[in-house]
A = this chain, B = another copy of it.
Amino acid sequence: MGKAARCAGLDAFFKPRGCAVIGASRDPQKAGHQILRNILDAGFTGGVYPVNPNESEIAGVRCHRSLDEVDGIVELVVISTPSHLVDGVIADLSRRMERVGDVRAVITAAAGFGETGTAEGRNRQDALVGCCRRWGIRQMGPNCVGIIDNVNRLDTTFIMGTRRKPGGISFVSQSGALGAWLVESWSSQPEPAALGKFISLGNMADVEMIEVIEYLGQDADTRVIGLYVEGHPQARSLVEVAGRVARRKPVVVLKVGRTEQGSAAAHSHTGSLAGSDRVYDGAFRQYGILRAGTVEEFSDMLQTFNSAGLPDGNRVFLVTQAGGPGIYCADTLSSFREVEFARIAASTKEALVKALPPFASVCRPEGHADITAAATIEQHCFAVEAVMRDPGVDAVILVTVPTLYLPPPALASALVETLRRLKAEGIEKPFLPVLLSGDWVKEGRMTLERNGVLTFETPDRAARAMAALIRYNNILGRDERGRGSGPVEVRAL
């Protein structure tokens, strides 16, 4: 089967006309219960068919004794029955394919297959995949958490009670637990991350990572791709495909197995021979794939690429109302050699000095303005607007610890208004605001994010995200000021 055809086959996972859950359960502590709940809660628009021979109804939905008995169209089947019952499932699936022939995709959530390393597990996996292949069905897993498509309102996972916010982030994970962790964490942010698709690959017995990357590269809903990687048998092909996609949209990778210990643990976990991390690392750089060092960096990069546009250059201006946190941010920013601190025009400096509180410190050093804790909401907005308008500035970070006279929601609304005004005049530059601290600023951050302005937990996280935007610019060779373009820069990253 050609690559295009294989990719096309993946559509059925995200846009099936009907979905059955084999092993649906009444027991809320079972995956077969939560999967059904999530399909219903996400507002899936096709038919939903729980299958369990011992129940007549689950969660208010009529239950079927077998897949074969389902009347409606079933394009996607989620298997949640224990692996030792797989023969029965295969027989049921085969009967349906002979009679109706509508199933196009299977997601196997159950564990106990190839990942066990036993002959029994491998045989079960081979039998299941063999059946799917025979009928031209694509199979995800086994031993996977499932998939989420918030744009198409489908959630076949058993992750508990997430808050959904459709968006351009697609996240592919080689570990179910790591996938579930991040999806759940993103949902616990003040405002959930804009997750489009989540794909838990599990054992990759059929659908594997490379074709998923290819698929997401072509997917119009996907603006940025995040990959959690332990290792891949075709590592070379993986980076080549991801690198090709990365010329169109950012590909961010979180790869573990950096160390001997981690690499040995990865081998036990997914059986993947991680290979030398340095080889992967070099390949990522060479092919323009962005590597995140931590989950926080991974999360921030995905969210930033999804919500902020790319800057026209690497000249960053930092506006801070908070001395210490501003210095902390400056330290992180200047640890990235791709970042330059912006030099603003004398007229901008003058305007700032005039409008800001008397003891504000403007451009000492260049690219840095401490507007002091005395700054009002108006002065925050004035400073942001002035530097955004300055032609010497490509992107702006704002750090603020709102005081008593700066109610965070009011500050947030005023900033949104300022950005809106600038946008109406055609001035759009990456603007990464950091509203500190904790619960005190939660509502303010939500206000900004609901208006499309991503906010950050800490100043250094914003600084790292900013550096990633500039690094990706260099990868694309689109720095308009003529520096750092093309593949040579990519190799030198």
Contacts and interface: CB of A to CB of B under 8 A. Distances in A.
A175 B322 contact: yes
Interface in A355-370: 358-359, 361, 364-365, 367-368, 370
A268 interface: yes
Contact of A268 (B33, B324, B361): B361
A79 interface: no
A32 to B, nearest CB: 10
A330 B259 contact: yes
Given A111-B373, A334-B262, A367-B261, A359 B322 contact: no
A177 interface: yes
Contacts of A258: 331, 335
A440 B161 contact: yes
A202 to B, nearest CB: 11
A303 to B, nearest CB: 15
Given A256-B324, A269-B323, A184 B261 contact: no
A324 B359 contact: no
A152 interface: no
A365 B187 contact: no
A438 B261 contact: no
Interface string A261-273: 1101111111000
Given A29-B405, A268-B370, A230 B327 contact: yes
Contacts of A261: 330-331, 333-334, 341, 365, 367-368
A482 interface: no
A404 interface: yes
A262 B404 contact: no
Nearest to A31: B404
A63 B259 CA distance: 64
Interface residues of A, number: 87
Contacts of A256: 324, 327-328, 331
A312 interface: no
Interface string A149-191: 0000000001011000000000001111111111111111000
B265 A178 contact: no
A185 B440 CA distance: 9
Contacts of A367: 261
A475 to B, nearest CB: 24
Contacts of A294: 458, 460
Given A268-B370, A359-B117, A328 B437 contact: no
B324 A188 contact: no
Nearest to A374: B111
19 contacts: A30-B404, A118-B359, A160-B404, A173-B324, A175-B327, A176-B373, A180-B401, A180-B437, A181-B401, A185-B437, A230-B327, A257-B327, A257-B331, A262-B328, A268-B370, A269-B327, A270-B323, A294-B460, A295-B328
